[in-house]
Chain A
Amino acid sequence: SQKIEQNSEALNIQEGKTATLTCNYTNYSPAYLQWYRQDPGRGPVFLLLIRENEKEKRKERLKVTFDTTLKQSLFHITASQPADSATYLCARGDDSWGKLQFGAGTQVVVTP
């Protein structure tokens, strides 16, 4: 069965630095990977999507990469701010409709 794994250890980072999160998947490459942000006690919020045939996507201070050789996606937050502190979830999608498989998320803590 496919797995999607994120680093369970919290990432503590100083304001202004770049936070880099890792999402690894097993078996075949998904059609796309999505990244969500989740704040405590809240539902996830969609951030970025990257398709299998794309190497990199950007949105403001966020950047996502998709490496099918390493079976990995990296999520970068540049010039991090305390407001970026949250848990970030990676999700793989294999169908044209419906189900996503989520990782457990990585907590990011940005200190001033």
Chain B
Amino acid sequence: GAVVSQHPSRVICKSGTSVKIECRSLDFQATTMFWYRQFPKQSLMLMATSNEGSKATYEQGVEKDKFLINHASLTLSTLTVTSAHPEDSSFYICSAETGTGANVLTFGAGSRLTVL
């Protein structure tokens, strides 16, 4: 079945630094990927929709200059958290639609970001 690989699974960084998270579709091409953020005991919140070869579409309230998304190929999307602060600490998960219809998503394993 479709597999989405996400890296790193955990990252700890100092406040003010930038962190890049990679999301790869391993056995299929994903023209669109979705980036979510999840706080403990809360639902997944869609941050942005990443489109191959074009600009990402950000959800209301998400700062596009802070959360840079690049979708350079049909199998890779990256999320860069710039100038990270402790409030950016969260669980970030990417996903892609697998083409089975009705927006069934395959998710990556997630990346736990801790900003000190």
Contact = CB atoms under 8 A, between A and B. Distances in A.
Interface residues of A, number: 25
Interface of A: 4, 8, 31-32, 34, 36, 41-46, 49, 51, 89, 93, 95, 97-100, 102-105
> Mostly helix, strand, loop or mixed at chain B's interface?
strand
Contacts, number: 58
A38 to B, nearest CB: 9
Contacts of B109: 42-43
Q: How large is the interface on B (under 10, 10 to 19, 20 to 34, 35 or more residues)?
A: 20 to 34
Contact of A95 (B43, B103, B108, B112): B103
A43 B110 contact: yes
Contacts of B97: 97-98
B104 A104 contact: no
Contact of B43 (A31, A43, A93, A102): A102
30 contacts: A4-B43, A8-B41, A32-B102, A34-B102, A34-B104, A41-B110, A42-B109, A42-B110, A43-B6, A43-B107, A44-B93, A44-B105, A44-B107, A46-B104, A46-B105, A49-B102, A51-B102, A89-B43, A93-B102, A93-B103, A97-B97, A97-B103, A98-B32, A99-B34, A99-B103, A100-B103, A102-B43, A103-B43, A104-B41, A104-B42
